[in-house]
Structure 1
């Protein structure tokens, strides 16, 4: 009985992707009989059928779907390991996987990342912009070392450290009926069409919840990705948008907008540094966290 290994995992993934022993053999530069034998030995090792064969080819059983998921994780982890080891050969001494929300990026995190890298040229950062729920999930599940985003979604498995607070505002065209107000409650905006980021973002979900709490219907006309796109659509007269107020310096003159502060208690999110356990952070990730904490807004 063959032990599970990364080569077998890759072959099984190829079978799953191609739906054919012959096609999988071609991709893996093997003869079909060798691929078939690997599959049989894998099924014997796990004690369950992983595929169903028919005239249309090969389909995964439920167990096969589960195997494909775990095989993919194994193969990706090995590829990441190989890439990281290659970086070490080239002088890199540490990697940090970072996930950052759009609000954190807009709040000045890139400048802090840049200053960190200037002080730590031997550390490589793999930084991705993601929606806050994805950031939380990636940190919890170990796909990221550090996250930066609003504390709208909390999780008992996360450690949160404050980085900076920001205020939400209503962005409206300068000739909009709401433009004359000095401040607004969120429910006062619900009489108008809204432009928002995708429904999966933390802010969009927060606004859905706020509308339900007010027993009102939110009319979202357009979903776009990024605050720049929201402000652009608002400037074109496609609706109004809820965005961080600090964006007014950039987008108010660019798109002829007015930014009106929201007075609701929930409209003042805190951008947080997120990680699982400080004591288990790799040294490069801990160095980044300490740098961010030292330069957090007071």
Structure 2
């Protein structure tokens, strides 16, 4: 490869090392200083934020660039902005700092007797399909493992798993999230939900287009089911009139029961909510109305031991549920 006259080709032997010297020389403090400089747009403001003199933070950043063999920041009179390489490094830097912080927190928990920490993100459908009972069962057998459970809509679950903010996600496979690994956990059907006495209440099955004659009650725009229903409405060629959007299936059913419209929800919610709100659940006769709730992972082999044990527990419960359904 030729190099133009007057141009200096920058190489970085450290990055090409295969014996781990690069990772040993990469200083998390310098990585933090870089992130602060980008976020503040100024080395002086980053130095104030990190409680260090500007000359020291500037030296750390220069050393970091020398280690990587590329310029990470463009320095000017107005401050600093990341170069294209700096933008790429920023993504990895934030992942690294989150991992270091998580390591610090987990080690603190170990010192207090905790023997594992699992970050779980679950959809409303997963919570309604029996996930709390599975977590309780796992926790009884692993009392020193801490489970951090948060309910998110499916697109946010996928993003948190992809970006390393969660270990395990449980939600419907409606989005087909690439490149996550999906392990089927529960199968379920979607039903039209209408109040008792509604014109559609005595039908045995319904096409989704039949629902579009009426005002709809749905979850928020960002939910996976709402995105699926938007797509189904477009495919039907009919306009969908959504009267109200709420969070969670119980809120959807409550609004339908109060006469605000009709909607779609998992069929298994009939037992807990049908009688409470005076609702009829009518199976949808559509190929897309039979999704699976899946365990979502980046990579099973890279999971911490506690998280892998939790996934194994869920897989055993899925197998048992399949046998029960035979």
* TM-score bracket relative to the smaller structure: 0.7 to 0.9
2:76 equivalent among 43, 48, 53: 53
Aligned partners of 1:158 and 1:70: how far apart in 2?
19
Alignment match, 2:94: 72
Q: TM-score, normalised by structure 1?
A: 0.84
Alignment match, 1:148: 170
Alignment match, 2:265: 243
Question: RMSD across aligned C-alpha pairs, in angstroms?
Answer: 3.0
Alignment match, 1:26: 48
Greater alpha carbon shift after TM alignment, 116-125 vs 141-150: 141-150
Q: 1:224 to 1:78 in 2, by over 3 A?
A: same
Aligned partners of 2:257 and 2:131: how far apart in 1?
26
Tell whether the 8 Å contact from 2:208 to 2:286 is kept in structure 1 after alignment: yes
Q: 1:90 to 1:50 in 2, by over 3 A?
A: same
1:118 equivalent among 122, 140, 152: 140
Tell whether the 8 Å contact from 2:73 to 2:80 is kept in structure 1 after alignment: no
Aligned partners of 1:157 and 1:40: how far apart in 2?
36
Gaps of 5+ in 2: 1-11, 13-21
2:207 equivalent among 185, 204, 208: 185
Q: 1:224 to 1:152 in 2, by over 3 A?
A: same
Q: CA deviation at 1:208?
A: 2.5
Structure with bigger gyration radius: 2
Q: Deviations over 1:15-70 (max 9, x none)?
A: 22223333222221112222233333334444225134334x44444443333322
Alignment match, 1:290: 312
Tell whether the 8 Å contact from 1:158 to 1:275 is kept in structure 2 after alignment: yes
Tell whether the 8 Å contact from 1:8 to 1:38 is kept in structure 2 after alignment: yes
Q: CA deviation at 1:82?
A: 0.6
Tell whether the 8 Å contact from 1:11 to 1:35 is kept in structure 2 after alignment: yes
Gaps of 5+ in 1: none
Q: CA deviation at 1:78?
A: 0.5
